[in-house]
Amino acid sequence: MKLILTNLFSGTNELLLFGVFGVVIILFLAVDLGLVHKGPKKISQKDALLQTIFWIFVSCIFGGLIYYFGGGSQDALEYFSAYVTEKALSVDNIFVILLILRYFKVKDEYYHDILFWGILGAIVFRAVFIFLGALLIGEFHWILYIFGVFLIYSGVKIFNEDEDMDIEPEKNILMKWAKKVLPISKEDKGGRFIFREKGKLWFTPLFLVILLIESTDLIFAVDSIPAAFAISQNEFVIYTSNIFAVMGLRAMFFLLANILDKFYLLQKGLSVVLVFIGVKMLLEWSLIQSAFQMVGIEHAHIPIIWSFIVIMSALTFSIVLSVIFPQQPEIVEPVETSKEEA
């Protein structure tokens, strides 16, 4: 058994391994939608906690399998580093999704189905992004250095970004197209996305919510996919770590939705991680290596174990500091009125 799995990880039957992984993910999705959640239902904090623990457990088990049957500690550390980074990036994604759902005044009991289909779309689009990225890197290795510069830019931008964020669906290109081309009803029809009435196909406002969530996920993928390639160039490690993080996104959403603002420094920790990963990627550039050699350093390289330690430390410290030094609520000064105005 171990020999078979070792061969799978070695690349001789990599396509089969991807197929097995796909079947497992589809099975979980089918069980989730078809058995666990039938019809609209509000997810409790307890259920969200149990599901979050479950997905973290499954993700860790998979990382253990990579270590035991696959490429050893190197691939396992790359998997966990990419997984933790994607998990942290998904917190920002959760915040935006929450703003979208509140903007459209979506009922709590519809959240699960919307997030389910949003995650399903993310699984497909992430696969396209990752394999397209791998293909481009295989042909043009210098793209990695562009990724590195972009990650440093993103990290600095996130660090200086205002925490308040406005959702403006009317400016979203996909939303503009949908409203112009598709017949949109004014009713949600009990949580349905599409329905037929008098022989005509209609789309509900909830369908527009899914489109908006999918488009924002693509934007977040622009950060997370280059970050994953900075950690590993193994497509299997990148895709599985990315999708396991995404699969746990829905449960984490219900768990963190009401307490997300308490971890206000997590954004700063995430920006440090992106800058670090970008610098790590640029260190491999031959021009920078030549500069280090001029000062007596033969090969400047950050081992994966140190990368994992830095990523975990930055995120952990940002969470701990957020709890120790909670954000003070803004004090609104009362507006004084003159006697004439009164």
Instruction: Tell me the domain boundaries of the chain.
Output: 2-258
pLDDT in tens, 52-107: 888 888 888 888 877 776 666 788 888 898 898 888 877 777 777 877 887 888 88
pLDDT in tens, 147-196: 888 888 888 887 877 655 556 666 777 778 888 888 888 777 777 888 88
pTM of the predicted model as reported, rounded to 2 decimal places: 0.75
Token duo for residue 333? 């000064």
